[in-house]
Structure 1
Amino acid sequence: MISQANALGGNETDFLSLQAFKSRILHDPYSTTSSWNNSTHFCQWAGITCTNKSQRVLVINLTDKGLSGSLSPHLGNLSFLQVLKLGNNTFKGNIPYQLGNLLRLQILNLNNNLLQGQIPPNLSQCLNLTYLNLAYNSLMGKLPQELTSLSNLTDLIIHDNNFTGGFPPFIGNLTSLQTISASSNPFGGTLPDIFGRMKNLVALGLGGTGIFGTLPPSIYNISSINILSLPGNNLSGKLLPNLGLMLPNLQFLQLGSNQFDGPIPSSLSNVSGLVRLDMTNNSFSGKLSIDFSRMKSFYGMVMWNNNLGSGEPDEMQFIVSLANCTDLQVLGFQDNQFKGALPSYVGNFSQKLYHFAISGNQLYGEIPPWIGDLTGLTLLSLRNNELTGSIPLNIGNLYKVQRLTLSSNQLTGSIPPSIGNLTLLNDLYLHENRFEGTIPSSLGNCQQLTWLYIQDNNLSGTIPKELFGIPSLSITLSLARNRLFGSLPDEVGKLVHLAQIDVSDNELSGEIPRSIGSCTSLQNLYLQGNFFRGSIPSSLASLKGIQNLDLSRNNLSGRIPEFLGEFSISNLNLSFNNFEGEVPTKGVFANFNSTLVSGNRRLCGGISELKLPKCTILKPKKHKKLLKIILIAASATSILVGLLVLLILCWFKRRKDRKNVQESLPGETFPKLSYEQILKATNGFSPSNLVGTGGFGTVYRAVLNDDEMVFAVKVVNLNRRGASKSFIAECEALRNVRHRNLVKIYTCCSSIDFQGNEFKALVYEFMPNGSLESWLHGNLTANTAAGELPKLTLLQRIRVAFDVASALEYLHRHCQTPVIHCDLKPNNILLDNDMVAHVGDFGLMVMEPNQHGSSIGIRGTIGYAPPEYGVGGEVSTYGDVYSYGILLLEMVTGKKPTDPMFGEDINLHNYAKMSFPDRILEIVDPMLLQDMKEDDTKCLASMINIGVKCSMDTTRDRMDIGDVVDELSLILKDRESTSSR
C-alpha cells in the first residue's frame, strides 16, 4: 500500500475509490479485477482508462464481466470520471446517490443488472450527462422531477423496469433528447402534451407501458422522428389525416395492439422513407388509400385483425402501387373486411416478396395469373375468402413456396397437375372448395409434404397410389367428403409415421387393407360413410396409439375383435354395420360414452348401458366337452411348468441385483449410496428439494451430511413406458463419455429393493444455475429470488452456444463410438456456478452403429426434432445438428419453436431466415437490444446464420458440427475482445 500510494502522488483518492468498489464485488467469474492490486498502477488495471497527464480515472468499462455484488458509494469520489459502464452484470441494491457528485460524467450505463429502488434525484447534478441507460433492472417509483436539469441528455433508455406514476411532463424540458426508450414499464396514465418541444427527437419507444387515451397533438409536431413505437397499450381514437405530412421522416410506425379506429391516413403516401408499417390488432376501418409507389425502401406491412375495407370495387388497387417497392418482402392483411377483386395486373412485383397473406376477407373474382410470377414466395395464403374460378396453371412456378393455403373459397375446376412442381411444399390446404376431377398423381412429387387437406370438394376417381409414396406425410392426410371410389390402396401401409387418415364420406369399397396395420403412428383413423366390407383385419392390433377410430356406416361384418379393448382409445364408433356376436366388455367397451355399436342387429352382450340382448350359450356335446377338458388340463400343465422356470430365473436375477445394488462409474470416487441415504439427503424427497421434472423422472437437490457435498438425484418413474430403457441408456452413455460440457454422472443406483418396490436413480453433479430454459424464458428457479427474473447477456449466450457445440462435436467425433443425443433442447442444457453449459439427459441417446433407420422410432421433442425423424429417416448426428440450430435460434430470438406465433404460416427456422441479413434486429430477443454497437449486430447476424444453416430441412444442407465450433470460437473471441475495450 505504501509503494502504491507513493507512486500515486495526489491521485490516492482514485486508487482508494477503486479499491472500495472492488471490495463490494462478491463474484468475479472471469477474474477481471485480479489485476487490481498494488503491483501495477491503477491506470493499468483491466477496464480502467486514465487521463494522459494527470493519471486520473476517466473511464470504467466492466460490461459483460459476470460481476455480482453492490455498487460502492465511493464511486462518487472519482471526480474526473466521464464514462461509467457496468452493464450486463448482476449488481444488486440501490444506485448510490453519491454518483451525483460525478460532475464530469457523460455516459452512465447500468443496464441489465438487478438494481432496485429509485433513481437518485441528485443524478441531476451530472449536468454533462448525455447518455443514461438503466434498462433491464428492477427500478421503481416515479422518475425524479430533478432530472429536468439534464439539458444535455440525448439518450434516455429506461425500458424493462417498474417505473410508475405516469410518463412525467418534465421530460419535455429535455430538449436535447434524441432517443426515449421506456417500453415495458407500468407507467399508466395518459401521454403528456409536451413532446412538441423535442425538436431533436428521433426515436420514441413506449410500447407496453399501460398508457391510454388519445395521442396528444404535440406528437405530430416532432417532424424529426424516425421511429414511433407505441404497441401494446390502450391508446384509442383516430389518427390525424395529415400524419404523413407532419411526420415526413418516419421509417418505422408501430401502433399494433391498441384500440385505434377510423381510417389509416392516406397522407402516409408522402412518407417516402417509410420502411415498416405495423397496425395489427386495432379497429382501423375504411379504405386503404395509401400510394406506396414512392417508397423505394418499403419492406412491408402487417395489418391483420382490423376492420379495414370499404366495399368499393377498386379498394384493392393499392396493391398495384406496391409494384414499385423493390424491397417489398411482407404483406399481411388477414382478418379484415376487404371486399373486392385482386387487380388483374401489377407489373413487376418484387421478387423479394416471400410472405403474402390476405386470408379472412371478402375477396372475390379469380386468382390473377400474376400470382404465379411471385417466384420468391415461401408463403401464399388466400384462405377464407370468396374467390372463384380455377387455380392458375402457372402456380407451379412458385418453386420456393412451402405453405400454400387456398381453402374455404369457391374455387372450381380441377387441381392443376403443375402443383406437383412445388417440391418444397410442406403444407397444402385446398379444402372447402368446389374442385372437380381427379386428384393429380403429380402430388407424389411433393416429397416434403407433412399436411395435405383436400376434403370437402367434388373430387372423383380413385385415390392415386403416388400419395402414399410421400414419406414426409406425418400429420394429416384428409380426403374426406368427396366422391372418390375404388379401394383404399394397399400402399397406404407405407405411411408409417402419419398421425391421421381421413377418407370418410366417399364411395370407397373393398376390404380395409391389412397393410394399414403398418401405420403404427396413427392416432386418428376415419373410414366412416363408405362401402367397406369384410371383417376388421387383425393387423389393426398393431395400432397401439390409436385415439379415435370410426368405422361406422359401412358394410363391415364378423365379430368385433377383442384387441380393440386393449387400446387406450378415446372414441370408437362401429355403428351401422353388420357385426355379429358378443360385444367385449373390457377397455373402451366398458365406457358407454366412448363406444357406439348401434345399428348392428346381430350383436349381443356388452355392458348393460348398451341395452343389447343377452348372448345365447349353446350346450356342447359330450365328446366336445371331454376334448375341452383335455385341452384345458394340458394348457394348465404347460403354464405351471413355465411359471416354475420363470420363478427360478427371477430368483437368480434377484440374487445378482442384490449383489450389485449400486454401480459407480469408472474413475469416479463417489460414495455408494443406499436408498436410505438418498432419502435422508433429499430430506425425504421433500418438495422444497425439488429441482424439476422430466419425461421419465423427478430431480431433487441432495446434500450428504458427512461432507456437505451437494449433488442431484434423478429418481426414475418405472411406471412410465420406456423409463427403464432410458435409465439404462443414460448410464451407459455417460460411462463412456467425459467432457467438460457434459453433465457428470457419479452413480447409477439400480435394483434396490425397498419395502418391496424397485428403485432406480441417477446421481450426478448439481448445477446451481438451473436449465437454459429458465434463463431464456424467465421461469423462476429455486436459486432465483422472488422478483428477479434471470437474464442472459449476449456474451453469455455466445459462451453457452459454444459450450453446447463443443459437447456435440465431442460426442459425434471423439468418442470410440459416435453418440447421438436425440433430445437437445434448453431444458437439457444445465448451467453450473460459473454459467458454463453442460449437456445432460441422455435417456434417448443412440450409439450410431447400433441404429437401424426407421426402426428406431420417433425420437426427440416437438419443435426440436428434425423433420426426417418424423418420416422414417435414420437417426444420425445431423439430427443433433438440426436440434442445435433450433436451440441457437431460440437463444437469439427468445422465442420457442412452439411459440403460438408459429403455426400454419411460419416456423422458427423461416422466421429467422427471412430476417437475414438486413432485418435481424426485428427478431432479436428484446433483452439483447441494449447499448447495441455495430459489432454486436454483426455478431448476432453470424449466430442467426449458423442457426439457420444448422436447421435446414435436408441433412446434406446442414453445417458440419466442427465448422460450427470453429465459427463460434471466432465469434466468442471477437465479442470478448470488444467487451474488454
Structure 2
Amino acid sequence: MALFSHFLVHFALLLIFLPLELHNLLIGVSSATLSITTDREALISFKSQLSNETLSPLSSWNHNSSPCNWTGVLCDRLGQRVTGLDLSGFGLSGHLSPYVGNLSSLQSLQLQNNQFRGVIPDQIGNLLSLKVLNMSSNMLEGKLPSNITHLNELQVLDLSSNKIVSKIPEDISSLQKLQALKLGRNSLYGAIPASLGNISSLKNISFGTNFLTGWIPSELGRLHDLIELDLILNNLNGTVPPAIFNLSSLVNFALASNSFWGEIPQDVGHKLPKLIVFNICFNYFTGGIPGSLHNLTNIQVIRMASNHLEGTVPPGLGNLPFLKMYNIGYNRIVSSGVRGLDFITSLTNSTHLNFLAIDGNMLEGVIPETIGNLSKDLSTLYMGQNRFNGSIPSSIGRLSGLKLLNLSYNSISGEIPQELGQLEELQELSLAGNEISGGIPSILGNLLKLNLVDLSRNKLVGRIPTSFGNLQNLLYMDLSSNQLNGSIPMEILNLPTLSNVLNLSMNFLSGPIPEVGRLSGVASIDFSNNQLYDGIPSSFSNCLSLEKLSLARNQLSGPIPKALGDVRGLEALDLSSNQLSGAIPIELQNLQALKLLNLSYNDLEGAIPSGGVFQNFSAVNLEGNKNLCLNFPCVTHGQGRRNVRLYIIIAIVVALILCLTIGLLIYMKSKKVKVAAAASEQLKPHAPMISYDELRLATEEFSQENLLGVGSFGSVYKGHLSHGATVAVKVLDTLRTGSLKSFFAECEAMKNSRHRNLVKLITSCSSIDFKNNDFLALVYEYLCNGSLDDWIKGRRKHEKGNGLNLMERLNIALDVACALDYLHNDSEIPVVHCDLKPSNILLDEDMTAKVGDFGLARLLIQRSTSQVSISSTRVLRGSIGYIPPEYGWGEKPSAAGDVYSYGIVLLEMFCGKSPTDECFTGGLSIRRWVQSSLKNKTVQVIDPHLLSLIFYDDPSEGSNVQLSCVDAIVGVGISCTADNPDERIGIREAVRQLKAARDSLSNQSDESPTLTSTRDT
C-alpha cells in the first residue's frame, strides 16, 4: 500500500511538470530556429548587394536550404548559428550589406581578394564574437568604422590593400587580444598611436604604403612577441627608438622609404637574432653596414640601399647560405686594398641569391672572375656607377639565370665578352658610360628575351650587328656616343616592339636613313650627330607614337616631308644643321603637341607658317635659313608693278645686311677675333686676356679629374694658372644653340657687378683650340667648398662628418638673399639672375655663399648700344622646379621671379627635399607639402640631418629656440613662393626677416654646439 501511494505521488508530480518540460523544449527549438533564420536572412541580404555577374560561386545560397550547407558558410556544432563566412578569392563585387551585423555569432569573416567597394558598414561593430576580420585586397574606401575597437575578441584585423582614408584610432589598445594588425596599402594618415604598445599579444604590425607621419613610438618596444614591423613607404621620420632593437622576436623589420636618420647599431644582428628580412632602403641612415647582420645564418633579405652608409663591406657574407637579396646600392661604400672586392667572392656560398645590388657607391678595382660562381638563381645584378676598372669578366656568362645586368658608368675597358651571348634569360643589358672598345658582338643578337640594350657612351667601333633584328622583344636601344660606322641596319628598324627609345646619335653612321615604317610604337628616335645623307623618309609618319625625333647635324638634303604633319603626338622635332631645302610644310602647324621645333641652319625658303607651334616664337628656331620670309610678306612674281619699288627696297636692305654681316665675319675670322673679345674688354678695365694654351695647361688638357660640373651651355674645370692662382674655367659648348647668347648675358650682367656674395669673374678667353674650332671660356675665382647642392645632398661634409648646421644654413640663406638684393636694388643696372638654384650657389673656404652662373641673366634696363640683346627672347628661363609659374604663362623675367626661385632654394635647404623629388606628383609641390605641414608642426618637414643636429629629443629651451627659428625661415620661403608674383615679399624684406631669425639665435650660439659655424657669423 505504501509503495502504491509512493507511485501515485510521483505520477501526480509527473503530470504537473510534464507540460512545463515540453514547453521549455519547444521554446528552445523555436529559439534555435529563429537564430538560424536570422542568419539566413542576413546572408540573403548580403548577397543582394552583390553584382549579378559575380554571383555564380554563391548559387547554393537560397531560401530552401540551411545556410550551413551553403558555399563559404560555417556553422556551429549543432547547426544553430553561423560562425564563419569565408568568401576569399571568389571574385565578388558590390557593396557590403549592413545586415552582416546581424550575424551575431560570427567568429570569422574573410572577404579578402574580391572587388568589394564602398564603405565598411558601422554594423561590423555589432559582431562582438568576431576573432578574425579580413577584408584585404578589395576597393573599400572611407574611414575605419568608429566602433571597430569594440570587437574585444578580435585577434586578426586585416584591411590592407584598400582605399581607406583614416587615422588609426587612438583607442586601438582596447583590442587586447589582437595578434595581427595589417592596414598597409591604404591612405592612412596621422601618427602611429603609442597605445599600440599596450597590446602585449601583438605579433604583426603592417602599416606599409600609407601617409603616416611622425615618429615610431618607443612604446612599441614593449611588444616582446612582435614578429613583423612593416612601416615602409610612409612619411615617418626621426630616429629608431633603441627599444625597437631589443625586440628579439622580430623576423621582418621593414622601414624603407621614409625619412629616418641616425645609425643602425652595429650589434643589431645580435639583438635581433631571428631576422629574416631587414629592409631600411631609402632613408637617411648613417654609419657603417652592421657586420653582425652577416652572422645571421638564416637571414634572406638585407636591403640598405639609398642611405648615407659609409665604410667597407664587413666580412662574414660567406655565412649566409639562405640569402636571396643583398642590396647596398647608392651609399658611400668603398673598397679598401687589393682584396676590397673579396666580399663578392664570399657571396658564392649564398646558393639562393637572386638579387645583388652594389651600384652607386665608390667601389673600385677589377671585378673578380669569381663573380661567375654566384648562384645560378641570380637574376638581377646591379654594379653600375662605381669605379670598377679592367675588363668585364667572361665568367659572367655562366650566370645562366641572369635577367638584368647593369655595369654602367664605371671605368671598365676592354671588349664586350662573347660569353654574354650565353645569357639566354637576359632582359636588360646596360654597359653605358664606360671605356669599352672593340665591336658589338653579333652573338648578342641571340639574346631573344632582351627588352633593353644600353651601350651608349663607350668607345665601340664597327657596324651595328644586323643580328639585332632578332631581338623581337626589344623596347629600348641606346647605342649613342660611340664610334660606330656603316649604315643603319634595316633590321633594327623592323622591330615592332621597340616602343621606348631608339638612340643612335653621336656616332659616324653614314648612308641614307632606311624606311622606318614598322616602328609604329616608338616614342623617341635620335639619329643626330652622324653622317647620314639623302632625304628624310616619309615613313616616319607611320611612327604613330613618336614624341621626339632628332635628325640634327647630319648631311640630309631634300624637302621636309609633309607626312611629318601626321605624327600627331610629336612634341620635339629637331632637323637642324642639315642641307634641307624647299618650303616649311604647312602641315607642321597641325602638330598640336609640338613644343619644340628646330629647323635652323638649313637651306629652307619661302613663307613661315603662322599657325600651331609657329605662333610661339620661343618654341621655334629658324636661324641660319637665309631665304625664309621673316618680318614681311613673301613677294611672288605674280604681283604687279606697284610692288617693284618694294622689291628694290627689300633687295637693297637685304643686300646691305648680308654685306655688312659677311664683311664683319671675314674681318673677325681673319683676325681670330670673336665677339667675346669685346665682351672681355667690358668685364674690367685692363682685364688680362688669357690664351687657350694657358687654360689647356692649367686644366691638364681639360681632364676629367679636373671636371667640376656640366651645365646647360658648357663644362667647368678646376685649373692652376702658371702664377699659382687656382681658378674655375667655364668652357662653353659653341655648338650648343644659345651658348653665345649665354656668354654675352654673363659678361653683360657681371661687368658692372661687384659684391662679396657674387662669384668673381676674372677674365675671358676667345681663341681656337688645337682642332681649329672656336673656343670660348670664362675664368672665375675658384671656391673650394663646392656648391650648396653638394652640401644639401650630402656629397660634402665637414671633417667630423656633419652636414650644414642651422646657423650655417641661415648664413648661406642670408648671403644669397644679400646677393639678390644687390642685383635687384643696388646694382648700377638692375639684374635678374633667372636661374637661381643650389648648384649655382658656391661656397668659399669660410663657407661664405656666392651666386654664380649668369648665363641666363637679364638686365631690367637695356642699353641702346648693347651688342646683343639678352632680354629680347621669350624663352622659358631657369631650371625645372625653380622656375616661377608666371614664366610658363609667357611673362617676362622679373625680380619677383628671382624671389620665387630663392624661396624654393630656401625650402630645399631646410627641408632636405628637391623640388623635383619623385614624391611631388599629382599637383603636390614642395611649397604645398611644406605649407600643409605648417598647420601641424614644421618639424615634420625639417631636413632629418638638420633635425638630428638640433637635438629635438632634448627638451632644453635652446632646442625650442632653434625650432622656432626654422619655423620663421620656412615662413619666409612660403612668402617668397606665392603663385601670384604680386603676393610675394621683396628680397629686401626677406633679408630683414632672416636677419631677425639670426638675431634670435645669437644668444644660443655659445651654449649649443649645433649653432657653431665654421666662420664668423
TM-score after normalising by structure 2: 0.51
SS at match of 1:144: helix
2:530 equivalent to 1:506: yes
Q: How far 1:158 moved relative to its partner?
A: 4.9
Name the structure 2 match of 1:373. 398
How far off is 1:59 after superposition? 1.7
Selected match of 1:413 from 410, 430, 438: 438
Deviation at 1:527, TM superposition (A): 3.3
Post-superposition offset of 1:558? 5.2
Q: Which residue of 1 aligns with 2:704?
A: none
User: Which whole-Å CA distance do the structure 2 matches of 1:218 and 1:544 have between them?
Assistant: 60
- For 2:535, the aligned partner's letter is I
Structure 2 residue aligned with 1:221: 246
Which residue does the alignment assign to 1:351?
A: 376
Structure 2: any 5+ residue segments left out of the alignment?
1-22, 642-917, 920-1017
Secondary structure of 1:345 counterpart: helix
How far off its partner does 1:325 sit? Answer: 2.0
Q: After TM superposition, give the deviation of residue 281 of structure 1 in Å.
A: 3.6
The change in CA–CA distance for 1:477 and 1:488 in structure 2 (over 3 A counts) is: farther
Q: Does 1:319 align with 2:327?
A: no
Q: Which residue of 1 aligns with 2:171?
A: 144
Matches within 5 A, 1:611-760: 615=635, 617=637
**TM-superposition CA deviations, 1:433-461 (whole Å, max 9, x none):** 22233333443443443433222122334
Instruction: Map Cα deviations across residues 69-102 of structure 1 (whole Å, 9 max, x no partner).
Output: 32677655x5xx65565767667443576655x4
Shift of 1:265: 0.8
Deviations 1:589-633 (A, max 9, x none): 5654444443344x153444xxxx964747799xxxxxxxxxxxx
Change (3 A) 1:286 1:52: same
Question: 1:239 offset after TM fit, Å?
Answer: 0.9
What residue number does 1:972 align with? Answer: none
- SS at the partner of 1:477? strand
Question: Which residue is 2:292 aligned to?
Answer: 267
Distance 1:173 1:451 in 2: 53
Distance in 1 (alpha carbons) for counterparts of 2:604 and 2:188:
71
Matched to 1:68, the amino acid is L
Task: Please give the residue correspondences for 1:509-528 in structure 2 after superposition, counting only pairs within 5 Å.
Answer: 509=533, 511-512=534-535, 521=544, 524-528=548-552
CA-CA distance at 1:503 after TM superposition: 2.9
CA gap 1:109/1:442 in 2 versus in 1, 3 angstroms? closer
Give 1:419 deviation, angstroms.
2.5
SS in 1 for 2:293: helix
Q: What per-residue deviation string (whole Å, max 9, x for no partner) do you get for residues 222-270 of structure 1?
A: 3332212233443321111111222222112222333322222111111
> Match for 1:243 among 260, 268, 278?
268
Deviations 1:737-765 (A, max 9, x none): xxxxxxxxxxxxxxxxxxxxxxxxxxxxx
Report the AA paired with residue 380 of structure 2: H
Aligned residue among 63, 70, 77 for 2:98: 70
Q: Provide the rounded CA distance (Å) in 1 between the counterparts of 2:97 and 2:181.
A: 25
CA distance in 2, matches of 1:295, 1:544: 55
Could you tell me which residue of structure 2 aligns to residue 331 of structure 1? 356
> Does structure 1 residue 439 correspond to structure 2 residue 464?
yes
Identical-pair percentage: 31
**Separation in 1, partners of 2:229, 2:244:** 10
**Residue identity opposite 1:414 in structure 2:** G
Equivalents in 2 of 1:197, 1:320: separation in Å?
40
**Is 2:324 the partner of 1:299?**
yes
CA RMSD between the two structures: 4.5
CA offsets per residue over residues 376-418 of structure 1, 9 Å max, x none? 2222122222322222232222232222111122222332333
The 3-state SS of whatever aligns with 1:428 is strand
Corresponding position of 2:1009: none
Q: Distance in 1 between matches of 2:172 and 2:614?
A: 74
Over 3 Å counting, the alpha-carbon distance change for 1:455 and 1:139 in structure 2 is closer
Partner letter of residue 144 of structure 1? D
Tell me the equivalent position of 2:861: none
Which position in structure 1 is the counterpart of 2:388? 363
Q: Distance between the aligned counterparts of 1:337 and 1:185, measured in 2?
A: 33
**1:277 alignment partner, SS class:** strand
Secondary structure of the 1:420 match is helix
Q: Is the 8 A contact 1:316 1:343 kept in 2?
A: yes
Which letter maps to 1:8?
V
Corresponding residue of 2:29? 8
Asked whether 1:531 is paired with 2:552, we answer no
CA–CA separation in structure 2 for the residues paired with 1:503 and 1:532: 11
SS state of the match for residue 282, structure 1?
coil
Question: Counterpart of 2:878?
Answer: none
TM-score of the superposed pair, with normalisation by structure 1: 0.53
* Shift in CA distance, 145/587, structure 1 to aligned 2, threshold 3 Å: closer
Residues 620-666 of structure 1 deviation map (CA, whole Å, 9 limit, x = unaligned): 99xxxxxxxxxxxxxxxxxxxxxxxxxxxxxxxxxxxxxxxxxxxxx
Kept after mapping to 2: 8 A contact 1:4/1:38: no
Give the whole-Å Cα distance in 1 for the aligned partners of 2:311 and 2:608. 62
- Highest Rg: 1 or 2? 2
Matches within 5 A, 1:754-773: none
C-alpha displacement of 1:37:
9.5
Query: Match for residue 749 of structure 1?
Result: none
- Work out whether residues 517 and 542 of structure 1, in 8 Å CA contact, stay in contact via their aligned partners in 2: no
Matched, 1:60 2:120: no
Residue 953 of structure 1 corresponds to none
Q: Is the 8 A contact 1:589 1:607 kept in 2?
A: no
* Residue 94 (structure 1) aligned to one of 95, 107, 122: 122
Query: 1:897 — aligned with what?
Result: none
Q: Equivalent residue of 1:59, what SS?
A: strand
Q: Deviations over 1:466-506 (max 9, x none)?
A: 44454544544332222334x21555567566555433223
Q: Is the 8 A contact 1:355 1:378 kept in 2?
A: yes
The one-letter amino acid paired with 2:29 is L
Alignment of 1:425 with 2:454, yes or no, is no
- How far the C-alpha of 1:574 sits from its partner, in A, is 3.8
- CA 1:384–1:162 in structure 2 vs 1: closer, same or farther (change >3 Å)? closer
Amino acid at match of 1:512: G
1:42–1:240 distance in 2 versus 1, CA, 3 Å: same
In structure 2, C-alpha distance between the alignment counterparts of 1:72 and 1:534, rounded to whole Å: 75
Structure with bigger RCO (C-alpha 8 Å, 6+ apart): 1
Is this contact kept in 1: 2:493–2:516, CA < 8 A? yes
Give the CA deviation at 1:167. 4.3
In structure 1, what is the equivalent of residue 146 of structure 2?
Answer: 118
Deviations 1:858-898 (A, max 9, x none): xxxxxxxxxxxxxxxxxxxxxxxxxxxxxxxxxxxxxxxxx
Letter paired with 1:423: L
State the Cα deviation string for residues 149-197 of structure 1 (Å, max 9, x = none): 53xx543445567878854555445444433334466665443445555
CA distance 1:402–1:74, shift in 2 (3 Å): closer
**Aligned-partner SS, 1:224:** coil
- Classify 1:107/1:419 alpha carbon distance in 2 versus 1 (closer, same or farther; 3 Å): closer
Measured in 1, the distance between the counterparts of 2:187 and 2:523 equals: 47
Please give the alpha-carbon distance, in whole angstroms, between the structure 2 residues aligned to 1:276 and 1:35: 45
Name which of 573, 596, 601 aligns with 1:576.
601
Q: Is the contact made by 2:49 and 2:97 (CA closer than 8 Å) also made in structure 1?
A: no
Q: Give 1:121 deviation, angstroms.
A: 5.8
In the alignment, what sits opposite 2:423? Answer: 398
Pick closer, same or farther for the CA change 1:221–1:458 going to 2, 3 Å.
Answer: same
Tell me the SS of whatever aligns to 1:283: coil
Take 1:33 and 1:469, find their aligned partners in 2: how far apart are those partners?
A: 51
- Identify if the C-alpha distance between structure 1 residues 356 and 617 changes in structure 2 by more than 3 Å, giving closer, same or farther: same
Does 556-565 or 212-221 show the bigger shift? Answer: 556-565
For the residues of structure 2 that align with 1:345 and 1:202, how far apart are their CA atoms? 37
Show the counterpart of 2:302. Answer: 277
8 Å Cα contact 2:44-2:61 kept in structure 1: no
Letter in 2 for 1:342: I
Unaligned stretches of 5+ in structure 1? 622-899, 902-981
